[in-house]
Structure 1
Amino acid sequence: MEKEKHLGLRIDAETHQKLKSLAEFDGRSINGEVLYLIRQAIIQHEQQQGTLK
């Protein structure tokens, strides 16, 4: 099994606070919320443009 990858991300304080609020609203950690949003973006892209490699 492939190991998980680490992604460092720099964001401004306002975006961080809003992301934290969104994550709490959805019952997720900030990391979980970021993964959810990325996965949703991939799904949306693939529905419109086809499967990514």
Structure 2
Amino acid sequence: MAPVSSPATVASSPAAVWLAVAAIGTILGLGLSGWALLGSDMLTTLTANALAWCF
């Protein structure tokens, strides 16, 4: 008897696969947009600091 959570059981369940793909995609999407926002925010701050130092 194979355990219920064996890879074969999960792989043969389309719903579980789609849920996993959707979850991973959502997490990656949120992560990427978060990094982009953080990056642009840091860029703005660094630019402002550089300008403040120059003048």
Give the TM-score taking structure 1 as reference length: 0.41
Would you tell me which structure has more helix in proportion to its own residues? 2
Give the TM-score taking structure 2 as reference length: 0.40
